[in-house]
Amino acid sequence: MTAATPPHLPRARLIAVGGGKGGVGKTFLSANLAHTLVSAGYKVVAVDTDIEGPNLHTWLGVNSPRTSLADFVSGRENKVEALLQETPYSGLGLLAATHGDLAAAQPNAARRAELLSALRELPCDFVFVDCGAGAHPATIDYFLVGDEGLLVLHPEPTSVENTYTFIRAAFYRRMQLAMRKHDVRECVREAMDQRNDRGIRSPLDLLRAVEEMDPEEGQRFSKTMQAFRPRVIVNEVASTEDIKLGFSVRSVCRKYFGIEVDYAGYVNRDQAVRTAVLKRKPLAEVHPGSDAAVYLQRIAGKLAEAASKAGPSR
């Protein structure tokens, strides 16, 4: 990171952090990658979309946010910029989600689209969107619109299982959105259900079915597949075996989904992380030299590099 150059990006780069299971470290990574990039000189906004269990603000030392996403959803405020909170860290803004009227809190699809395009217009370099747990359609949509989609997983079967559930849901949703013809769209939607009547059991079956229905849509399908490139981060690794999980998941996704998944990095299991959250501060504020802080820097460095390569054409 120290070797990176932190000039300002022409447009905010949206980084969505998701990954199925709760408690694997999505919020930890959102908050701390955001903070790490701020330390390197970038301007960053962290957004909490986990309306049912928000705590991004806690990691960033903001005790009780005065404004929140709920104000945008309810229409009390239409300018996203006006909802940003300052954090104790210069250059790092927060759009919090707070406990409120839960029923009213989840935005409908149109409002969500407005929110997402507003986030891209924010005057900063990176926007981190903490997606929350589960594979709910709203969560998936937040994940899909990111310029980068980071999937956080733990080296344990429950997390691996939920990660695949998440990738599967995101994959089918992505493909459905890419299709233009109504009947093809329907086919993709039905294929999401693994026990569908069309006999489609895998992404490959689906591709073949789409190709048969309409060759042009088939081409679009495989091109969209190539562009669908989630990044995996393995959190709380304790052994070399755990680290290798990232490579293995990559291999399995290639063969099962036919998609490329990048292994963006790992963070070790580190007591320093616990002491930092108890202090309600980003890790690097409390233990800048800890191993976990070093690994975070490495991942942040890669994100910065990918952003600079993406260039100003966007």
Partner 1 sequence: MKTLSEMTHYEMLEIPAGSPLAEIERAYRVVQSSWATDGLATYSLYDEHEAEAVRERIELAYRVLSEAETKEEYDRRLEPSESEMDLEEIDLDLQFVDETVAATSIDLLPTEIEAFEDAADEGTDAEWTGSRLRRARLRRGIDLEKIAEVTKINPTYLQFIEQDQFEDLPAAVYVRGFVVSFTRCIGLESTQVADSYMARYREQTLESRRLMERRLRR
Where in 203-222 is the site for partner 1 (CB under 8 A)?
Answer: 203-204, 207, 220, 222
Interaction between residue 200 and partner 1 (CB under 8 A): no
Residue 231, phi then psi, degrees to nearest 5: -110, 140
Residues 6 or more apart in contact with residue 28 via CB below 8 angstroms = 59, 235, 273, 277
Minimum CB–partner distance for residue 66 and partner 1 (Å): 28
Count residues contacting partner 1 (CB under 8 A)?
75
Angle between helices 157-178 and 215-227 (to 10 degrees): 140
**Residue 305's closest CA among 131, 159, 132, 148?**
148
Task: Identify residues 264-303 at the interface with partner 1 (CB under 8 A).
Answer: 264-266, 268, 289, 291, 294-295, 297-298, 301-303
Minimum CB–partner distance for residue 13 and partner 1 (Å): 9
Residue of 8, 254, 274, 279 interacting with partner 1 (CB under 8 A): 254
Stretches 50-58, 69-77, 191-199, 241-249: which one binds partner 1 (CB under 8 A)? 241-249
The per-residue b/e assignment along 238-251, b for 16 or more CB within 10 angstroms, e otherwise, is: eeeebbebbeebbe
Alpha-helical regions (H) of the chain: 26-39, 56-59, 69-73, 102-105, 109-120, 137-145, 157-178, 182-191, 203-213, 215-227, 240-256, 271-278, 283-286, 291-310
Interaction between residue 41 and partner 1 (CB under 8 A): no
Task: Identify residues 43-82 at the interface with partner 1 (CB under 8 A).
Answer: none
Interaction between residue 147 and partner 1 (CB under 8 A): yes
Minimum CB–partner distance for residue 133 and partner 1 (Å): 17
Report the distance separating Cα 203 and Cα 91, nearest Å: 42
Task: Identify residues 155-174 at the interface with partner 1 (CB under 8 A).
Answer: 155-157, 160-161, 164-165
Residues 6 or more apart in contact with residue 121 via CB below 8 angstroms = 12
Task: Identify residues 120-139 at the interface with partner 1 (CB under 8 A).
Answer: 120
Minimum CB–partner distance for residue 148 and partner 1 (Å): 5
The DSSP call for residue 195 is T
Residue of 223, 271, 274, 279 interacting with partner 1 (CB under 8 A): 223
Stretches 87-95, 128-136, 154-162, 188-196: which one binds partner 1 (CB under 8 A)? 154-162
Minimum CB–partner distance for residue 202 and partner 1 (Å): 9
Stretches 67-75, 91-99, 122-130, 140-148: which one binds partner 1 (CB under 8 A)? 140-148
Residues 6 or more apart in contact with residue 263 via CB below 8 angstroms = 231, 232, 234, 246, 247, 249, 250
Minimum CB–partner distance for residue 35 and partner 1 (Å): 15
Q: Which is nearer to partner 1, 62 or 124 (CB)?
A: 124
